[in-house]
Amino acid sequence: MTHGEKIALEAMQREHKRLSKIADKAKAEAEESLGITDEAFAIHKEFSDIVKAKDHSAETVKRLSCLAARQKRVDTILKKSLVKLLDKQSDAERNRDLLLHEIRKVEWKSKRLP
């Protein structure tokens, strides 16, 4: 393997690491969006329990403010399109895998040729 090929391979490997991080982040966002309904139901149930208890203590107010923060996070996630998140995940994983395939081809050729 020539020096230029080694440099190109190292650059490809760095790019693969970057693409892997992007793919992992996209996957995490998609999975979070898929599982957010459970969180929304939990918030609703907890709020319902608070209302039924008819407690007006400082602790209840603190619980309500925590619920409001959690609900805001849920709303933010629900505003994102699940289809777009899944497309983003698919594109990122495909780009990562295509580059890995090219890296493996270069490595294989360099080992095969003297």
Mean pLDDT for 25-49 is: 92
- Could you read off the pLDDT of 87-107 as tens digits, one per residue? 999 999 999 999 999 999 988
Report the pLDDT value the prediction gives residue 40, as an integer from 0 to 100: 92
Report the pLDDT value the prediction gives residue 76, as an integer from 0 to 100: 92
Report the pLDDT value the prediction gives residue 94, as an integer from 0 to 100: 98
Long-range contacts of 84-90 (CB under 8 A, 24+ apart): 85/26, 85/29, 85/30, 85/33, 86/30, 88/26, 88/29, 88/30, 89/23, 89/26, 89/27, 89/29, 89/30
103 burial type by CB count under 10 A (0-12 exposed, 13-18 middle, 19+ buried): middle
* Global pTM value: 0.75
Mean pLDDT for 39-45 is: 93
